[in-house]
């Protein structure tokens, strides 16, 4: 058995195209669209020798692999490392990186904490915060859409909804970025980010303790499940931490990317101003168009085929959600950003049993901030070139100077 990037190099069918590409190269992570296109054109699956990976980027096959939890398991890790043969860098997530029946137990509790009803109770608070922030940004005129808006807004509402009392924007955003970079290959970027663990992880552990959280938040609901013996105390703490690793950097990215889309497509922003009810569909389309989570892996648990392509057991498969969300086979004029598209079925939140459990909260945050923008901002000017922040699983902006002109 030969290991590459901590997973097994398996036998690959002779007719699968081989592509000597590095999906984790800085340029690819910053400007992934040409890589997405080429990946889809080469075939349903391609083999990437340097990482001994099968990669898929067409909609149908990506969806099939990503959602079939029996043939393509998450418990062996959603990054490059296979937990059957390698020790994970930290204890794996007890919801994202486990399979049923255990998954059902943790997922039930986390779904309860983040239910539509729980989120509904927060809507007014989200709207008030959004209004105040946009008023502030209009006074500033010019600002950084990442630091001052995309990061500032979720950090001002989400940790409080969890019940956190002490809030550090840098720690919270970097915690997610670190966890997502850890999913990639053992390169310089990964080790640089993992070095931050010694500072970030103890802080997060402290903030997620039962006694650190205020009553009534998502965190308290999860700890209540421990009181009812649905979970152990330790599992409850792990689930609260997974809210922070999965719930901040992702929404930050989703909101930043939406501003980028609206800034570059003024006619779409006009539509949103005319009808602020398009805030939710606009966010959905921005998610499809930019895929904040660009790729996650699965591991084949059996010998199988997908779309006629044979896949051997133990193979790591890179599911490139960003490519699937731009597949012309699925989306008419896939490369056009159109806020009236209603892209039901996009894979930006995943699909199936692991489909994003935080999507109701994410949509509520986006709706609040985009509605405030639609009501108060006349036009959005992007100043200079936006810079993208390379990450092994997240496609996010690093900085984007923007001016909001008052309505």
Residues that bind ligand HEM (CB under 6 A): 74, 78, 95-96, 107, 110, 114, 242-243, 246-247, 250-251, 254, 287, 292-293, 296, 348-350, 354, 356-358, 361-362
CB of 159 to other proteins, least distance (A): 21
CB of 20 to ligand HEM, least distance (A): 27
Partner interacting with residue 231 (select from ligand HEM, other proteins, none; CB below 5-8 Å by kind) = none
Which residue's CB is nearer to ligand HEM, number 63 or number 190?
Answer: 63
Partner interacting with residue 137 (select from other proteins, ligand HEM, none; CB below 5-8 Å by kind) = none
**Cα separation, 358 vs 354, whole angstroms:** 11
CB of 109 to other proteins, least distance (A): 9
Partner interacting with residue 95 (select from other proteins, ligand HEM, none; CB below 5-8 Å by kind) = ligand HEM
In 3-state terms the chain splits into helix, strand, coil percentages (rounded to 5) of 50, 15, 35
Nearest by Cα to 314 from 306, 302, 305: 302
- Print burial letters for 347-366: b (CB count within 10 Å at least 16), e (below 16): bbbbbeebebbbbbbbbbbb
Which residue's CB is nearer to other proteins, number 87 or number 117?
Answer: 117
Residues in the chain: 407
Partner interacting with residue 115 (select from other proteins, ligand HEM, none; CB below 5-8 Å by kind) = other proteins
Partner interacting with residue 293 (select from ligand HEM, other proteins, none; CB below 5-8 Å by kind) = ligand HEM
Residue 65 Cα to chain centre, angstroms: 18
Q: Contact positions toward other proteins, by CB under 8 A?
A: 104-105, 107-108, 111-112, 115-117, 344-346, 349-357, 359-360, 363
Nearest by Cα to 348 from 66, 124, 99, 69: 66
Other beta carbons within 10 angstroms of residue 4's beta carbon come to 15
Which residue's CB is nearer to other proteins, number 256 or number 350?
Answer: 350
Q: Which residue is nearest to ligand HEM (CB)?
A: 358
Q: What is the DSSP letter of 21?
A: -
**Alpha helix (H) ranges present in 89-187?**
102-113, 116-120, 123-140, 152-162, 169-181
């Amino acid at each position: 058995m030969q290991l590459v990037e901590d997973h097994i190099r398996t036998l690959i069918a002779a007719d699968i195209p081989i592509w000597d590409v590095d999906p984790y190269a800085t340029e690819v992570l910053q400007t992934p669209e040409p890589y997405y296109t080429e990946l889809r054109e080469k075939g349903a699956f391609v083999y990437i020798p340097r990482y001994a990976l099968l990669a898929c980027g067409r909609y149908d096959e990506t969806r099939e692999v990503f959602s079939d939890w029996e043939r393509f398991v998450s418990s062996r890790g959603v990054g490059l490392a296979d937990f059957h043969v390698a020790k994970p860098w930290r204890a794996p997530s007890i919801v994202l990186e486990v399979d049923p029946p255990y998954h059902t137990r943790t997922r039930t509790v986390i779904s309860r904490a983040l239910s539509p009803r729980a989120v509904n109770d927060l809507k007014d608070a989200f709207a008030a915060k959004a209004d105040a922030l946009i008023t502030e940004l209009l006074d500033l005129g010019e600002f950084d859409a990442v630091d001052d808006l995309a990061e500032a807004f979720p950090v001002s509402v989400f940790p409080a909804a969890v019940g956190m009392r002490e809030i550090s924007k840098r720690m919270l955003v970097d915690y997610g970025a670190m966890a997502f970079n850890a999913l990639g290959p053992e390169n310089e970027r990964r080790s640089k980010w993992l070095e931050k663990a010694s500072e970030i992880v103890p802080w997060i552990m402290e903030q997620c303790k039962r006694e650190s959280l205020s009553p009534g938040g998502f965190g308290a609901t999860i700890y209540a499940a421990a009181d009812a013996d649905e979970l152990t105390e330790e599992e409850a703490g792990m689930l609260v931490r997974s809210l922070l690793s999965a719930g901040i950097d992702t929404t930050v990215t989703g909101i930043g990317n939406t501003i980028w889309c609206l800034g570059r497509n003024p006619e779409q922003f006009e539509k949103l101003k005319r009808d602020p009810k398009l805030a939710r569909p606009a966010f959905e389309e921005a998610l499809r168009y930019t895929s904040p989570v660009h790729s996650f892996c699965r591991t084949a648990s059996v010998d199988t085929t997908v779309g006629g392509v044979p896949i051997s057991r133990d193979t790591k498969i890179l599911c490139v959600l960003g490519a699937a969300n731009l597949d012309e086979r699925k989306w008419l004029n896939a490369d056009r950003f159109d806020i009236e598209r209603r892209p039901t079925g996009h894979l930006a939140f995943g699909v199936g049993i692991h489909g994003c459990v935080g999507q109701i909260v994410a949509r509520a945050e986006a709706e609040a901030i985009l509605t405030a923008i639609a009501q108060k901002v006349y036009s959005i000017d992007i100043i200079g070139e936006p810079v993208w922040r390379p990450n092994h699983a997240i496609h996010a902006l690093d900085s984007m100077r923007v001016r909001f002109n008052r309505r």
